[in-house]
Amino acid sequence: MAKGDLGEVLAARLLGEMREQRLAAGTHLRSQDLASRLGVSRFPIGQALQILAEKGVLRHERNRGYFVASETQPSADELGLAQDDRIGAAYFRIADDHLRAQLPEQITESELRERYQLTRTELSTVLTRISAEGWAERRAGYGWSFLPVLTTPESLEQTYRLRLALEPAALLEPGYTLAPELIASCRQAEERLLQGAIETDSADALHERGVRFHETIVGASGNPFFLDAIRRLNRIRRLLSYRSMLDRKRYRAQCEEHLAILDSLARRDQDEAAARLRSHLSHTIDNLARIRPLLSARGVAGFDPGAA
């Protein structure tokens, strides 16, 4: 598989998450869960898992799936899996151009290759990701069409108000149970950010960490309709979420609020956890109002959220 192909890019991404979460040996990685969370089909996820198994990071068991082979994993760089910077940079340039209405609704692949100076393979990898995330699709004839996504601060705030109604309610579902190992994994991710990763992580990594936290605690409700709704919202808010990360000062407070929610869940105090989550989302809505100029489609030129 050529360097930069989607399967290898996903393998590097999954390996980074395994190291960040310090997954224990024997942890089962379910392809459907990974595909749903990352917004891609099961095929490239299967490729990524196979790559990691071939490199000894995962163990494959027939008819059971893939499992973490060891508690200590090498880095993506050590395995030669680091994502090609050109692909990541091109993805974010296309995303920002789309947000700023700098791209036509319909465009050919040759036009995209010329505009962003990409090879066919590089462009294919970028477009596969964009298509999986739901903001572009291949046209019946030829070329691609860009689809409506959240492009205004008001629309992003609307998604948070819906989350404000849904997420705390999920924590109050009968039989809500969040496993201790998931609480520990979420806690480690937040503490890592507080130790300095807020400033060094890419926008992509920061977005995925927030998505992972909220989908984890909502998923423990046992009610799949809550989780499905939150996943849909997370996909369509992705591009404006990247733009909001130009201002990272609020992230320390967000991490501390996440940790407080985890404290309540560890004590199995669902009422307190729901109240803290409601307060956390309300604070986020207030913060979005303060950084509205950054979220404006024409508010930032030359935006490169792929950078740390």
pLDDT digits (tens, 9 = 90+) for 43-70: 888 999 999 999 999 999 998 999 999 8
- Token pair 């601060």 in the structure block, residue: 153
CB of 237 closer than 8 Å to CB of 150: yes
Whichever domain contains 141, its CATH number is: 1.10.10.10
CB of 30 closer than 8 Å to CB of 19: no
Is 60 found in the same domain as 38? yes
CB atoms closer than 10 angstroms to residue 77: 9
Is 159 found in the same domain as 136? no
Is 131 found in the same domain as 16? no
List of E strands, the chain: 28-29, 58-61, 65-68, 106-107, 136-138, 144-146
Is 289 found in the same domain as 185? yes
Is 211 found in the same domain as 97? no
> What's the distance, CA 116 to chain centroid?
24
Domain count, the chain: 3
Whichever domain contains 226, its CATH number is: 1.20.120.530
Last-in-domain residue among 122, 146, 170: 146
Is 128 found in the same domain as 233? no
In a domain, residue 74? The reply is no
Is 141 found in the same domain as 62? no
Is 157 found in the same domain as 131? no
Distance CA 16, CA 164 (A): 30
Is 274 found in the same domain as 164? yes
Half-sphere exposure of 109 toward its Cβ, with a 13 Å CA cutoff? 16
Q: Which domain holds residue 51?
A: 6-68
Is 125 found in the same domain as 255? no
- In 3D space, the residue among 185, 300, 196, 187 whose CA is nearest the CA of residue 248 turns out to be 196
CB of 6 closer than 8 Å to CB of 41: no
In a domain, residue 79? The reply is no
Token pair in block for residue 231 = 């996943």
Distance CA 45, CA 14 (A): 9
CB of 291 closer than 8 Å to CB of 247: yes
Is 123 found in the same domain as 235? no
End-to-end CA distance of the chain: 28
Is 239 found in the same domain as 116? no
pLDDT in tens, the chain (308 residues): 444 467 887 888 888 778 777 788 899 999 888 887 776 778 888 999 999 999 999 999 998 999 999 877 777 767 777 555 677 788 888 888 887 778 888 999 999 999 999 888 788 888 887 887 778 889 887 799 987 666 667 777 888 899 999 999 999 999 999 999 899 989 988 998 999 888 887 777 788 888 889 999 999 999 999 999 998 888 777 776 766 666 677 889 999 999 999 999 999 999 999 999 999 999 988 887 776 665 565 444 444 444 43
In a domain, residue 305? The reply is no
User: H/E/C letters for each residue in 154-217?
Assistant: HHHHHHHHHHHHHHHHHHCCCCCCCCHHHHHHHHHHHHHHHHHHHHHCCHHHHHHHHHHHHHHH
